[in-house]
Amino acid sequence: MGITKLEGFDEKVVSMAAALKAIGHPARLSIMQYLAAKDQCICGDIVLELPLAQPTVSRHLAELKAVGLIKGTISGNNICYCIDAENWNQLQQYLGQISSSLASKNTCC
């Protein structure tokens, strides 16, 4: 696949597209579900929850962190992860705005 053209698009649209692309992978979506179900930050447990090797899980965590959907803090030799609620809420609001727009339109097809 070629390089995605980002010039000319609103910064918010580009940001939301990156977040949606990140959660578009089953492993990343599973990580988000796992983190959402926990009451605290998670360190090494994520690898035990997925059918993937530790380096692969680390790469998926890095992708989610790069788009701001999760946060990571260093605790000794571990990095503890949790969902970045502010950024997740922004994504929800963005999608909610699109949904609200659709709800007020007549279907044409």
Query: 36: domain CATH number?
Result: 1.10.10.10
Residue 5 falls inside a structural domain: no
Residue 23 falls inside a structural domain: yes
Residue 68 falls inside a structural domain: yes
Mean pLDDT value of segment 98-106: 77
Q: Which pLDDT belongs to residue 79?
A: 84
Higher pLDDT, 68 or 39: 68
Confidence band of 62 (pLDDT split at 50, 70, 90): very high
* Model confidence pTM above 0.75: yes
Range of the domain at 35: 11-96
Residue 56 falls inside a structural domain: yes
- In angstroms, rounded to a whole number, what is the distance separating the alpha carbons of residues 17 and 22? 9
Query: pLDDT (tens digit, 9 = 90+) per residue, 12-56?
Result: 999 999 999 999 999 999 999 999 998 888 777 788 889 999 899
Residue 73 falls inside a structural domain: yes
82 and 35 in contact (C-beta within 8 Å)? yes
Residue 103 falls inside a structural domain: no
Q: How many domains does the chain have?
A: 1
